[in-house]
Amino acid sequence: MVGSHHLSEALAERGNRVSHVSTPLSVTHKILRKGEPDRLAAQERGVTVSAAGVRHYIPRPLLPAQARWTVRQLARALKRMGVAGADVLIVDQPLLWPKGFTGCTIVFRPTDLFTDARLVARASLLSASADGVVATSTPVLEAYRMGKIPGLMLSNGVDLSRFSPHHSGSKRAGYIYVGAVDARFDWGAVADLAAASDEPIDIYGPVSVGPPGPLPQNVRVHGPVSYDSVPSLLARARVGLLPLNAHPSNSGRSPMKLYEYLASGCYVLSPPIAGVDNASDAGVIIYDSSRSIGASARAVPNGTNSRGIDRAQEEDWSAKASRLQSFIEDLPRRRWSID
């Protein structure tokens, strides 16, 4: 079982039997209607099976997983999915690792530098118990790889079958951001960019932290958008934005959207974070601060980013899954059979 939707599908396509247990939405979440509507709807559907054969399930414990998530609850979730045991447990979310559990091969796959005290504490325990650590950037790997435990840096990838520069025949124009708008989002950079450019700036995604003041008229905040509609939106845009602020977790991020932007033919504007280092020669333009984003934007060429498209071909999730599987095959093997 694995904690990443994209890697789940890619590993299954390689012939592995994969179950994806998503972050639980508790009874408390349901009563208070806390949680994204799409996830709440998916939970109501129960266990689903994808075309690749991945079993997907969002558990509904009484209390949030942050408060309590045990081996018994994990076993109950797997039984609900028709799974009798596991050879490998790949954990993205430390709070979904039952404290102290080592019943099968454990791979910790941190995707951020955690700042929440509960996550920091559990990540430390998990790092010490894991058989291997697979991190999405070098700073994250250095933070969570303990001693001589095997480690692998494996950045987030892209589904090349979905993202293409040919989804739209219209001329490319404007800036786009797709993703969560939260405490890590730099509204100041967006406002400074809008002041320096007349082109539209479209922001798609759930907003939990809004702008501190009125936005210029060329900034349009659309709210959540379905994943299926994202490829056509990106194919119409000229530049993909990664407006990340100085939040501590951003220094180690491997932005999920980076290679989706590039595969779609967008240029990318980003601050200097570790997760974009490998693509700096592929049409990724770096700005040093929100005040310099306007000058950096003027350096972005018009048209389609052909270098970015070529670079994204190396980052398909299938290639990531191949590297991950090779790494796991060299780790100690233990199987967990559920009674």
DSSP assignments along 230-253, one per residue? HHHHHHH-SEEE--B-S-GGGGG-
Give just the sign of the alpha carbon dihedral 166, 169, 171, 175.
negative
- Tokens matching residue 263: 């595969």
Judge contact between 231 and 167, C-beta under 8 A.
yes
DSSP code at position 200? -
The model's confidence at residue 207, banded by pLDDT at 50, 70 and 90, is very high
- pTM value > 0.85: yes
The domain locations on the chain are 5-156+317-337, 175-314
The model's confidence at residue 44, banded by pLDDT at 50, 70 and 90, is confident
CATH number of 5-156+317-337: 3.40.50.2000
How much is the pLDDT for 278? 74
Mean pLDDT of the chain: 90
Quickly list H helices, 97-229.
117-129, 138-144, 187-196
Of residues 66 and 297, which shows the higher confidence score?
A: 297
The model's confidence at residue 30, banded by pLDDT at 50, 70 and 90, is low
Q: What is the C-alpha radius of gyration for the chain, rounded to an integer number of angstroms?
A: 20
- Does residue 187 register a pLDDT over 80? yes
State percent of the chain over pLDDT 90.
73
Judge contact between 152 and 134, C-beta under 8 A.
yes
**φ/ψ bin of 223: left (φ > 0), alpha (ψ from -120 to 50), beta (otherwise):** left
- Tokens matching residue 33: 């209607």
- Does residue 256 register a pLDDT over 60? yes
Q: Which amino acid type is present at position 80?
A: R
Classified as helix, coil or strand, 152 is: strand
- Does residue 107 register a pLDDT over 90? yes
Q: Which amino acid type is present at position 325?
A: Q
Cα separation, 279 vs 284, in Å, equals 6
* 64 closest CA partner among 26, 35, 23, 34: 26
Cα separation, 145 vs 157, in Å, equals 21
- Tokens matching residue 277: 């280092």
> Is the CATH code 3.30.470.20 the one for domain 175-314?
no
Cα 24 from chain centre? 17
Spatial CB neighbours of 36, under 8 Å, sequence gap ≥ 6: 206, 224
